[in-house]
Amino acid sequence: MEAQQILPRFCPKSSLAPSVPLVKQSFSLMCPPLPSSSSYPSVQSGAFPAISIVRREVCSSSWRRVWCSSSSGAEPKEGHEVTVRRKKLAVFVSGGGSNFRSIHEASKRGSLHGDVLVLVTNKSECGGAEYARNNGIPVILFPKAKDESNGLSPADLVDTLRKFEVDFILLAGYLKLIPAELIRAYQKSILNIHPSLLPAFGGMGYYGMKVHKAVIASGARFSGPTIHFVDEHYDTGRILAQRVVPVLANDTAEELAARVLNEEHQLYVEVVEAVCEERVVWRTDGVPLIQTKENPNEFR
Ligand code: GRF
């Protein structure tokens, strides 16, 4: 893949663009052609002549990534420096919120370069909302329940998220369709997690245990979570990350769900980590890739 085939680094707001000068970075993005399938293992540049090392320097609200390159055997020479601002996150939930909790805990223990500033839910009494309230995270109800007269419009929701200066929206078991206003306002900045290997077992009506029942009934031998960018339809946005979980011969839907959920917690934290560290790049065909921490020329 030619360096110019990679689009500029994933950047949620145009105001951030000047701090993320991809084209000026010292590393090369030359690597062999990527497989056409969306599920592939990490891609390593065979022809890439240098080893790239990422050094992070942690400070209160931002850290610097210093890309260093060296030809084999030589001492690393300091390359381009990028300051990565700490990101502000909104999480959307409708249920228990175990993915929300694992992301929030990762942030609290310092393994995420971002903070959950606000929780959005359509069910004010759900487990996720309760966890948010117990942890001092503001809860916004959207959309309003049928029996309530007042509620936020999609435009109000966008305004509210802008007031929190939210960079990324993370859907974690949020069962409502995201309004077009929000998709437009947060282009390439809304992620969802789905408990099957999309595009299989996704779309309207595939949620919760229905997904796992359908997987087992189909005879599929593998399932697992998918994290994708969100567009205006259910589960059709570009895939960013997947993890494979075996479907066992005697699995019940509940057993499979538990095995998949365990992987979801790890995968979502890893992906949010990458997003906060600005390690998502876009291929010219619109497929997002995650750079590994160690090497900007190696992708997951
Ligand atoms: C997860 O299985 C996720 O993939 C799906 O909804 C479920 C949410 O679980 N979108 P939790 O509320 O995070 O426990």
pLDDT at 69 over 90: no
| Residue 22: per-residue pLDDT | 33
What's the 281 CA to ligand 1 centre distance in angstroms? Answer: 26
Instruction: In whole angstroms, give the CA distance from residue 40 to residue 145.
Output: 41
Which pLDDT band, with edges at 50, 70 and 90, does 146 fall under?
confident
37 pLDDT more than 60 = no
- Whole-model pTM: value is 0.80
Q: Catalytic residue, from 80, 104, 113, 194: name it.
A: 194
- Which residue's CA is minimally distant from atom 6 of ligand 1? 173
Check if CATH label 3.40.50.170 holds for domain 87-290.
Answer: yes
Ligand 1 lining (C-beta closer than 6 Å): 93, 95-100, 172-173, 193-195, 225, 261, 264
Residue bearing the bigger pLDDT, 222 or 53: 222
The DSSP code sequence of 46-92 is SS--EEEEEEEEE-SSEEEEEEEEEETTSPPEEEEEEEEEPEEEEEE
Residue 19 in 3-state DSSP?
A: helix
Q: Are 55 and 68 in contact (CB under 8 A)?
A: yes
Give the residue whose CA is nearest to atom 10 of ligand 1: 173
Give catalytic status of residue 194 as yes or no.
yes
Q: Domain extents for the chain?
A: 87-290
The pLDDT, as a whole number, for residue 55 is 53
Interval 256-262 mean pLDDT:
98
Contact 286, 123 (CB under 8 A): no
DSSP bridge pairs for 78: 68
Residue in 45, 12, 17 with CA at minimum distance from that of residue 298: 45
pLDDT tens per residue across span 111-131: 999 999 999 999 999 999 999
Measuring from atom 7 of ligand 1, which residue has the nearest CA? Answer: 173
> Residue 181: which H helix or E strand, with range?
helix 180-185
Which of 261, 266, 267, 269 should be mutated for ligand 1, with most atoms under 8 A from CB? 261
Phi, psi (deg, nearest 5) at residue 274 = -65, -40
> pLDDT-derived band of residue 24, with 50, 70 and 90 as boundaries?
very low
Is the distance from CB of 143 to CB of 152 less than 8 angstroms? yes
Identify residue 93 by its one-letter amino acid code.
V
Compute the average pLDDT of residues 64-77: 49
The closest residue, in CA terms, to atom 8 on ligand 1 is: 173
Which has the higher per-residue pLDDT, 24 or 182? 182
The ligand 1 atom at the shortest distance from the C-alpha of residue 192 is 10
Which stretch of 3-12, 55-64, 231-240 has the lowest confidence by average pLDDT?
3-12
What's the rounded Cα separation, in Å, for the pair 153 and 23? 39
